[in-house]
Amino acid sequence: MLNSAITPITTYAMCTVKLPKGVIDNIDRARKQCLWRGNDANRKKGGNLVAWETVMMPKEKGGLGVLNLRLHNDALLMKHLSKFYNKANLPWVQLIWSKYYTHKVPHAAREVGSFWWKDVLRLNIIFRGIAKCELGNGASVCFWDDLWTDSVLSQTYPRLASFARNEDASVMEIMEADDLDTIFFLPLSQQACEELEMLQAHLEDQPYDEEAADHWVPTWGNTYTARRFYSQVFNNLDAHPAYKIVWRSRCTPRVKFFAWLVLVDRLNTKTMLRRRHLNIQGDAMCVMCDAREEETLDHLFFECQFAKECWATIQIDWDVSLSLLDRYTQAREAHTIPFFTEATLIAAWELWKVRNDKVFQRRDPTPSLWLSNFINQCNLQSIRFKDDLRSSFCVWLDAFS
């Protein structure tokens, strides 16, 4: 709902202008209200189970996939930069180039123009970090600090770059220079001379056409898209494969959301409520068994005698010596059934519901009651399965009826 109903309301504006931080904070406040408190305007604040930064992470990276508005805003605005640097055949692009940057590199010149253009141009640091210039005449690219060869020259030849008269000189200015005295402060040191020789050999392999225009391309392909940039930001983040497995399951979103809360250890067990300094009735002991153990995630779903009986009923074993995420992937590999993810999510979901009935409705749980609820829920969830998987899933369920 957040990504399909609330967030798109702002997308039209974010395609054009950079939203102020206060505006984004107010929108996020409304999105948090929608996610954690729904339509209940009288519900007290402080019910956020997971940090908002985690919620805005992609699902396969351990988050909930809610769009990060600041990042989304930058991604949308950088489409203008891509058009500008590539000198697209648009009136505003031609106007800005001819008015402000006839003989200048845009990101090396002082800020000029309207507030809109200044906001867009300030994103050039990000854009130049994900784009490489395919050299034409070199008018739009800095010789030392932009990526137009295999590497940034100021980093490859740092001693030589320290002698440069103009650190922001364009490639065109360097290529058309009359002599070294117009480029460097002379005399050069011995190390700088050695780097100069290497640079000259390096530049011999670089194409240069003074009649052609520069072409800026993103590192992932020929066309810049906001969606691709947004996903690229999170590519280097490591996340456990269990998150992707859960979100790709065929269960309803509500069950997958519950499973996500379990994986990030934010389910409202009694131990979690105590950690959050919220009122819990009585003590923090498990109500499903007589072991007098605290109601943690591990105990409630794996170590409790009631849970063990339920898992044994459907013939699923867990290695409780592993962490929760590793435990799940190990069990999935050990059990060859193709619907293992769906079956375990539904089983855990029904365990949680039986536990809530005990806490709030004072209904005594039994493994047979849990199994009946499990089978009924599986039949409902199987409607979302493909026919061949659904048939094998129903056959597997019949063995426990």
Are residue 247 and residue 368 in the same domain, yes or no? yes
CA nearest neighbour of 143 among 105, 171, 164? 171
What's the pLDDT score for residue 180?
A: 86
Are residue 138 and residue 78 in the same domain, yes or no? yes
Q: Pick the more confident residue, 250 or 2.
A: 250
DSSP 330-378: HHHHH---TTHHHHHHHHHHHHHHHHHHHHHH-PPP-HHHHHHHHHHHH
Angle between helices 69-85 and 7-14 (to 10 degrees): 30
Rounded to an integer, the average pLDDT of 238-259 is 95
* Most confident option among 77-86, 167-176, 219-228: 77-86
Listed range (82-96, 111-125, 274-288) with the worst mean pLDDT: 274-288
Are residue 285 and residue 385 in the same domain, yes or no? yes
Are residue 89 and residue 211 in the same domain, yes or no? yes
Confidence of residue 381 (pLDDT cuts 50, 70, 90): very high
Phi then psi for residue 184, to 5 deg, are -125, 160
Judged on CB neighbours under 10 Å (0-12, 13-18, 19+), 138 is: buried
Are residue 221 and residue 259 in the same domain, yes or no? no
Are residue 9 and residue 110 in the same domain, yes or no? no
Indicate whether 282 pLDDT > 90: no
Indicate whether 45 pLDDT > 60: no
Number of domains in the chain: 3
Are residue 29 and residue 132 in the same domain, yes or no? no
Are residue 248 and residue 223 in the same domain, yes or no? no
What's the pLDDT score for residue 336?
A: 87
- Structural domain span for residue 55: 2-72
Q: Does the pTM of the predicted model rise above 0.85?
A: yes
CA nearest neighbour of 302 among 346, 343, 348? 348
Can you read off the two tokens belonging to residue 99? 């008015």
The neighbour count for residue 44, using CB atoms within 10 Å, is 7
Indicate whether 54 pLDDT > 70: yes
CA nearest neighbour of 265 among 36, 49, 66? 49
What's the pLDDT score for residue 174?
A: 92
% pLDDT > 90, the chain = 77
CA dihedral (312, 315, 318, 324) positive or negative: negative
pLDDT in tens, 339-352: 999 999 999 999 99
Are residue 9 and residue 129 in the same domain, yes or no? no
Domain boundary among 46, 72, 98: 72
Indicate whether 43 pLDDT > 70: no
Rounded to an integer, the average pLDDT of 148-158 is 93
DSSP 231-267: HHHTTT----HHHHHHHTSSS-HHHHHHHHHHHTT-S
Separation CA 394–CA 343 (nearest Å): 11
Confidence of residue 38 (pLDDT cuts 50, 70, 90): confident
Domain boundary among 39, 72, 105: 72
Q: Please, which residues have CB within 8 angstroms of residue 295's CB and are 6 or more apart in sequence?
A: 269, 270, 271, 284, 285, 286, 287
Indicate whether 154 pLDDT > 70: yes
Helices (H), 37-152: 52-55, 69-85, 91-100, 115-121, 124-130
Domain boundary among 72, 99, 131: 72
How far from chain centre, in Å, is Cα 288? 38
Confidence of residue 107 (pLDDT cuts 50, 70, 90): very high
Indicate whether 276 pLDDT > 90: no
Are residue 66 and residue 85 in the same domain, yes or no? no
Peptide bond into 20 cis (omega under 30): no
Are residue 79 and residue 228 in the same domain, yes or no? yes
pLDDT in tens, 286-330: 999 988 899 999 999 999 999 999 999 999 999 999 999 999 999
What's the pLDDT score for residue 44?
A: 59
What's the pLDDT score for residue 91?
A: 96
Are residue 267 and residue 394 in the same domain, yes or no? yes
